[in-house]
Chain A
Amino acid sequence: MKKPRLTRPVLLDVQDITRLYGPAKGCEAIDFRLHAGEVLGIVGESGSGKSTLLRVLAGLEAPDAGRVIYRRAVHEPEAARADFHEPEAARAGAGEDVLDKGELERDEAELDLYAVGEARRRALLRLEWGLVHQNPRDGLRMGVSAGANIGERLMAQGQRHYGQLRATGQAWMRQVELDPGRIDDAPRTFSGGMQQRLQIARTLVTRPRLVFMDEPTGGLDVSVQARLLDMLRTLVRSLGLSVVLVTHDLAVARLLAHRLMVMRRGQVVETGLTDQILDDPQHEYTQLLVSSVLTP
């Protein structure tokens, strides 16, 4: 097997993030880097702060302290840039001089998630990032058809051709192993596993660079889970996605994640390569976690 290059550019630089709802409720002093093309698993028991951390990373909740820096490789062509529109900056920028523009360019290369405006943050989440919720009902619009769900992010980017939207929708349904003939069916007529696939298609349709997943296989039975994991692994590899994956299921982490962070009571207790952590856990909590896995 080819070894992964260790010099990949840093995509997400998380510096000392703290978000506490109370003592030991939330996450505290989290510090890590996510490299491009990497899948980082965050594991831990319920209430260990992993979902809070994910919300902070994904720009949904401001941290009490610390910074989240998103680094975009400057030389990399940005597909979404042409369609990217930011009303405030565009309007304010109309009369500004070149100096400010230069500043803007630097901001592009390195972006402090909570220092930039909400407009920028939401645009980022909509265009370059993706978020897969545990419950597909949180990520899907249950009232509109599967095709409209897949097309929504494209329409938000400014695509205005019905035929193309539909063709893209069908192509993505095939990609996530759904029947393209059901493009006009409402998501509520789909099974749980199919809804989750639909949510993944809806998120990946704009080819985000960074995807956050919160227990993507939670609530699915094992055979459905296995197929979904298989599909996810293929997609992550073929699209070169960087993923932050939150899960309590070590088997899921083993299959998908390159690197693991183990959390307990809001703090990271151990971090390292997935196999290393699962085969040779050092911290007592990780040892407990690994030994608690049921094997049939």
Chain B
Amino acid sequence: MNGYNFAYLDEQTKRMIRRALLKAVAIPGYQVPFGGREMPMPYGWGTGGVQLTASILGADDILKVIDQGADDTTNAVSIRHFFQRVAGVETTTATTAADVIQTRHRIPETPLRSGQILVFQVPIPEPLRFIEPSEQETRLMHALEEYGVMHVKLYEDIARYGHIATTYAYPVKVDGRYVMDPSPIPKFDNPKLDGNPALMLFGAGREKRLYAIPPHTRVESLDFEDHPFEIQRWEHSCALCGSDRSYLDEVITDDKGGRMFVCSDTDYCQTRRGEVA
């Protein structure tokens, strides 16, 4: 496409982001500040993820974009089209075929392989923010590993609801050092962060922070000894593909109380239905 550099961002910006990414990979879970650029979309629509994807995308890479697990929602479709236009890269909806996957809210059900890169869109990168509004103070807390307050939040959950009621953006400790917000993925996906062979990059456009989990890194979800970490479970299995081990969305089908549970990962669901049929 004429008038734009490959993948929209200019080369200097991409270099700056790549340098920050190298630092982030070197210090797993550490939030690296970067000079976030204005993107042709509003903050909150994935500007952080888009900048990271633009910086790491090569001309022969195959890109997949998902939003809440689905390839066909507005956010996913528009970001996919964006990169088709400004980078001319091939796109796919198949998890196994993709080199770079930009995601919002989910990690694909299909296990990732070595060499793939997963790019997360992050709204609030700071896991300590809810209890400490000062940025200066939270940075100091990270530096000194003062993470007691994270458990105060979990304690409060149990005291109030009888169990840990945090279901998304569930805090994790990366490589035994930094406490990290895994972006608003459901805690169902937290175990997939641990020891994953793919590289995982997190970009927050408004907050201008990025961080990373390198392949095969230890990622633990915080919990209590007598209230261990648990993932969500459903009594149903997917109404379309019959999977009983995927993350399910509840879809209301009429105004008489009709509903069905379907996989939130559309590619996973369709692949399974293809196999079953």
Enumerate chain B residues within 8 angstroms of A148, measured Cβ to Cβ: 152, 155-156, 159
Nearest chain A CB to B77 CB, angstrom units: 40
Give the complex CA separation of A188 and B145 in angstroms: 29
Nearest CB in chain B: distance from A48 CB, A: 30
Q: A148-B152, A156-B146 are in contact. Are A162 and B224 (CB under 8 A)?
A: yes
Contact B148 A157 (CB under 8 A): yes
Q: What are 16 residue pairs bridging A and B, where the CB atoms are less than 8 Å apart in the complex?
A: A87-B143, A118-B140, A123-B144, A141-B131, A147-B155, A148-B155, A148-B156, A148-B159, A155-B152, A160-B224, A161-B225, A161-B226, A162-B158, A162-B226, A162-B227, A184-B160
Provide the residues of chain A in CB contact with B227, threshold 8 Å: 162
Across-interface contacts of A162 in B (CB, < 8 A): 155, 158, 224-227
Q: A147-B155, A161-B225 are in contact. List 6 more A-B contacts (CB 8 A).
A: A87-B143, A126-B146, A152-B152, A153-B148, A162-B224, A165-B155
> Interface size class for chain A?
20 to 34
Cβ of B149 within 8 Å of any chain A Cβ, yes or no, is yes
Asked if A152 contacts B160 (CB within 8 A), the reply is no
State in angstroms the CA–CA spacing of A166 and B149 once bound together: 16
Within 8 Å of chain B (Cβ to Cβ): is A119? yes
Which residues in A have their C-beta under 8 angstroms from that of B145?
Answer: 85, 87
Question: Measured between alpha carbons, how far is A162 from B144 in the docked complex, in Å?
Answer: 24
A44 within 8 A of partner (CB): no
Residue of A nearest to B144 (CB): A119
Which 4 A-B residue pairs are closest in the complex by CB-CB distance? A156-B148, A155-B151, A162-B224, A155-B148
A151 to B152, CA, bound (A): 8
Residues A160 and B144 in contact in the complex (CB < 8 Å), given A141-B152, A144-B152, A165-B155:
no
Chain B residues whose C-beta falls within 8 Å of the C-beta of A152 in the assembled complex: 148-149, 152
Contact bitstring B210-226, A, C-beta under 8 A = 1, else 0 = 00000000000001111
In the bound complex, CA of A141 to CA of B227 (Å): 23
Known: A118-B144, A148-B159, A156-B146. A161 touches B152 (CB 8 A): no
Q: How far is the CA of A269 from the CA of B151 in the complex (A)?
A: 46
Closest to B130 in A: A143
A144 CA to B155 CA in the complex, in Å? 9
State the B residues within 8 Å of A (CB).
Answer: 131, 140, 143-149, 151-153, 155-156, 158-160, 177, 223-227
Partner pick for A155 among B140, B155, B158, B226, CB 8 A cutoff: B155
Which residues from A are CB-within-8-Å of B149? 152, 155-156
* Residues of the B chain whose Cβ atoms lie less than 8 Å from the Cβ of A122: 144, 146
**Complex CA distance for A184 and B162, rounded to whole angstroms:** 11
- A163 at the binding interface (Cβ < 8 Å): yes
Considering the chains assembled together, what is the distance between the CA atoms of A183 and B151 in angstroms?
Answer: 17
Which residues of chain B are within 8 angstroms of A165 by Cβ–Cβ distance?
A: 155
Q: How far is the CA of A143 from the CA of B160 in the complex (A)?
A: 13
User: Who on chain B is nearest to A146 by CB?
Assistant: B159
Known: A85-B145, A87-B144, A87-B145. A160 touches B159 (CB 8 A): no
Q: How many angstroms from the CA of A162 to the CA of B155 in the assembled complex?
A: 7
CA distance A235 to B145 in the complex (A): 31
Give chain A residues whose Cβ lies under 8 Å from the Cβ of B158: 162
Q: Are A160 and B131 in contact (CB under 8 A)?
A: no
Complex Cα distance, B189 from A145, in Å, reads: 29
Distance to closest chain B CB from A125 (angstroms): 11
Chain B residues within an 8 Å CB radius of A155? 148-149, 151-152, 155
With A and B bound together, what is the CA distance between A77 and B129 in angstroms?
37
Q: Which residue of A lies closest to B223 (CB)?
A: A160
Closest Cβ–Cβ distance, residue B164 to chain A (whole Å): 9
Cα–Cα distance between A126 and B147 once the two chains are bound (Å): 12
Residues of B within 8 A of A166 (CB): 159
Given contacts A147-B155, A155-B155, contact A163 B146 (CB under 8 A): no
The interface residues of chain A lying within 8 Å CB-to-CB of B131 are 141, 143
B226 A163 Cβ-Cβ under 8 A: yes
Q: In residues 117-167 of chain A, which contact B (Cβ within 8 Å)?
A: 118-119, 122-123, 126, 141, 143-145, 147-148, 151-153, 155-157, 160-163, 165-166
